[in-house]
């Protein structure tokens, strides 16, 4: 019986995985330039880490988490991580990173899990590249992570991504906005979708995030958070915007960006691409000054983002397919002596860093040459009893079709020289 993968969980096969490598490589490059260090956090955490940090009324906690009983601790639950920020904050606290150096710039990459309706560019196991800066309240660092993202997008060749920016205020000013928004929504309650009606009281900002046509329509004239910012938040947001303008990073203000999660405050942003349709964010993030404290740590400001790998790769693949790395050499052999020689030669050459492949069973010359072609080998070496007896082999350049004779004992050095020489 054939067993298939489960809905929303996908393989990344050779041929596709090269685009992923490319993106990951460029991410590491840009993170190094901005002095970010990698952190690897577990895929499974205690459920309360997410319910406490993300907020009980968020879609993620309400219905999207993969949660199961911990068989080692009766009554407690474990969850496959639905996002990375909570785990990074937990690790920062657990290792007491703040005691040595309170400012930490961290990045991570890996799979996240949410039980959402699968669609193009959105899977249940999906991959994120994320970054968190812990310990810096200043607006410079908000601007810095946005510039980092712009540099990253330009490094991978993503064009036409737009930055949308908002400020969500803080504990000083958000309650006032929340009240005004709730009053506005209550007057129009009947027109909201059932979901929004249900959670409106507890989390009115989420209504602005709702993609239902009726809710988008109702909230078109909703009060804007930007009109309710206190002086501190207004000044902070002002500096972020000035720094972006100084660095010629274009942005649009979008007071509808509320981010799904409770822990966000002040700067919130999304990078979108019109080519992705309605699920159009390719990266999103913002400031979350209260999170570390909520998790039992010292007051620690934070700002971060996550890039959706599937969507980014999709956008890049629309532009160009990335080639798998080419095989350097294919060894074509004839006879038992040819096979024995080829097997040990392949091993020696691989040890010296050359990518080599060969057949394991006797095949016709023609079939071996076809395989070499399929693998994209740059060179083919033909070895039979006769060649071994003579002490020379014929090396064929598969691009130029040139053939040259090489002494067997000089083979490794010759190949290395050619490869280095291009």
Q: Does 230 bind Zn ion (CB under 5 A)?
A: yes
> In this complex, which beta carbon is closest to Zn ion, that of residue 199 or of residue 322?
199
According to the binding rule CB under 5 A, does residue 170 interact with Zn ion? yes
Q: Which stretch binds Zn ion (CB under 5 A): 54-62, 115-123, 227-235, 282-290?
A: 227-235
Q: Is 172 in the site for Zn ion (CB under 5 A)?
A: yes
Contact 61, 55 (CB under 8 A): yes
- How many residues touch Zn ion under the rule CB under 5 A: the total is 11
Span interacting with Zn ion, options 9-17, 157-165, 229-237, 368-376, rule CB under 5 A: 229-237
In this chain, which of 82, 169, 260, 304 binds Zn ion, going by CB under 5 A?
169
CB of 154 to Zn ion, least distance (A): 33
Which of the stretches 23-31, 214-222, 254-262, 348-356 binds Zn ion when contact is defined by CB under 5 A? 214-222
Least Å distance between CB 43 and Zn ion?
31
Q: Tell me which residues in 192-211 interact with Zn ion (CB under 5 A).
A: 193, 196, 210
Find the binding residues for Zn ion in span 257-286 (CB under 5 A). none
Our CB check for Zn ion shows the closer of 225 and 284 to be 225
Q: Is 226 in the site for Zn ion (CB under 5 A)?
A: no
Q: Name the one residue in this structure whose structure tokens are 């959402």.
A: 116
Lay out the site mask for Zn ion across 375-404 (x = CB under 5 A, - = otherwise): ------------------------------
Residue 40: other Cβ atoms inside 10 A: 10
Stretch that binds Zn ion, among 24-32, 231-239, 249-257, 393-401 (CB under 5 A): 231-239
Per rule CB under 5 A, is residue 222 in the interface with Zn ion?
Answer: no
Q: Residue 329: which of 394, 392, 407 has the closest Cα?
A: 394
As measured in angstroms, the least distance from the Cβ of 88 to Zn ion is 25
Residue selected from 158, 208, 233, 303 as contacting Zn ion according to rule CB under 5 A: 233
372 near Zn ion, rule: CB under 5 A: no
CB nearer to Zn ion: pick between 67 and 197? 197
Among 215, 218, 291, 329, binds Zn ion (CB under 5 A): 215
Cβ proximity to Zn ion, 165 vs 173, nearer residue: 173
Considering beta carbons, is residue 234 or 363 the nearer one to Zn ion?
234
Structure tokens at 214: 């009726």
Q: How far apart are CB 183 and Zn ion at their closest, in Å?
A: 18
Q: Output the smallest distance, CB 287 to Zn ion, in A.
A: 11
Residue in 16, 24, 212, 357 binding Zn ion, rule: CB under 5 A: 212
Binding of residue 324 to Zn ion (CB under 5 A): no
Can you give the chain as a three-state secondary structure string? CCCCCCCCCCCCCCCCHHHHHHHHHHHHHHHHHCCCEECCCCCEEEHHHHHHHHCCCCHHHHHHCEEEECCCCCCCEEEECCCCHHHHHHHHHHCCHHHHCCCEEEEEEEEEECCCCCECCECCEEEEEEEEEECCCCHHHHHHHHHHHHHHHHHHCCCCCEEEEEECCCCCCHHHHHHHHHHHHHCCHHHCCHHHHHHCCCCCHHHHHCCCHHHHHHHHHCCCHHHCCCHHHHHHHHHHHHHHHHCCCCCEECCCCCCCCCCCEEEEEEEECHHHCCCCEEEEEEECCCHHHHCCCCCCCEEEEEEEHHHHHHHHHHHCCCCCCCCCEEEEECHHHHHHHHHHHHHHHHHCCCCEEECCCCCCHHHHHHHHHHCCCCEEEEECHHHHHHCEEEEEECCCCCEEEEEHHHHHHHHHHHHHCC
Dist CA 88 CA 277 (whole Å): 31
Under the rule (CB under 5 A), what is the footprint of Zn ion? 169-170, 172-173, 193, 196, 210, 212, 215, 230, 233
């Amino acid at each position: 019986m054939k067993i298939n993968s489960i809905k929303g969980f996908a393989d990344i096969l050779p041929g596709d995985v090269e685009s992923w490598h490319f993106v990951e490589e460029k991410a590491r490059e840009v993170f190094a330039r901005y002095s970010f260090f990698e952190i690897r956090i577990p895929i499974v955490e205690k459920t309360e880490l997410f319910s406490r940090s993300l907020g009980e009324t968020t879609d993620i906690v309400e219905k999207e988490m993969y949660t199961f009983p911990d068989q080692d601790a009766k009554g407690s639950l474990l969850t496959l991580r639905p996002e990375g920020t909570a785990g990074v904050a937990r690790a920062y606290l657990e290792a007491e990173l703040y005691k040595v150096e309170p400012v930490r710039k961290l990045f991570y990459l890996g799979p996240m899990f949410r039980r959402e309706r699968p669609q193009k560019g959105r899977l249940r196991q999906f991959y994120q590249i994320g970054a968190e800066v812990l310990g810096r309240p200043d607006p410079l660092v908000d601007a810095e992570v946005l510039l980092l993202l712009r540099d990253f997008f330009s490094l991978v060749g993503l064009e036409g991504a737009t930055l949308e920016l908002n400020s969500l205020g803080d504990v000083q000013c958000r309650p006032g906005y929340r009240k005004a928004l709730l009053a506005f929504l209550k007057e129009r309650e009947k027109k909201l979708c059932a979901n929004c009606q249900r959670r409106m009281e507890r989390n009115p900002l989420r209504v602005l995030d709702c993609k239902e046509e009726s809710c988008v329509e109702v909230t078109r004239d909703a009060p804007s958070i930007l009109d309710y910012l206190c002086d501190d938040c207004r000044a902070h947001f002002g500096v972020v915007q000035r720094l972006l303008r100084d660095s010629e990073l274009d942005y649009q203000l979008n007071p509808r960006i509320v981010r799904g999660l409770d822990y966000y405050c002040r700067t919130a942003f999304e990078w979108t691409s019109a080519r992705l349709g309605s699920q159009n964010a390719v990266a999103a993030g913002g400031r979350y000054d209260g999170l570390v404290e909520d998790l039992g740590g010292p007051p620690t400001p934070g700002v971060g983002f996550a890039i959706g790998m599937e969507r980014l790769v999709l956008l890049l693949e629309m532009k160009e397919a990335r080639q798998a790395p080419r095989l350097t050499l294919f060894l074509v052999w004839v006879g038992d002596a040819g096979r024995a020689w080829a097997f040990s030669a392949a091993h020696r050459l691989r040890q010296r860093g050359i990518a080599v492949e060969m057949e394991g069973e006797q095949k016709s010359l023609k079939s071996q040459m076809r395989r070499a072609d399929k693998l994209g080998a740059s060179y083919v070496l033909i070895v039979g009893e006769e060649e071994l007896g003579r002490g020379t082999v014929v090396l064929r350049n598969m691009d130029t079709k040139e053939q040259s004779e090489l002494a067997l004992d000089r083979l490794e050095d010759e190949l290395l020289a050619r490869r280095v020489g291009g």
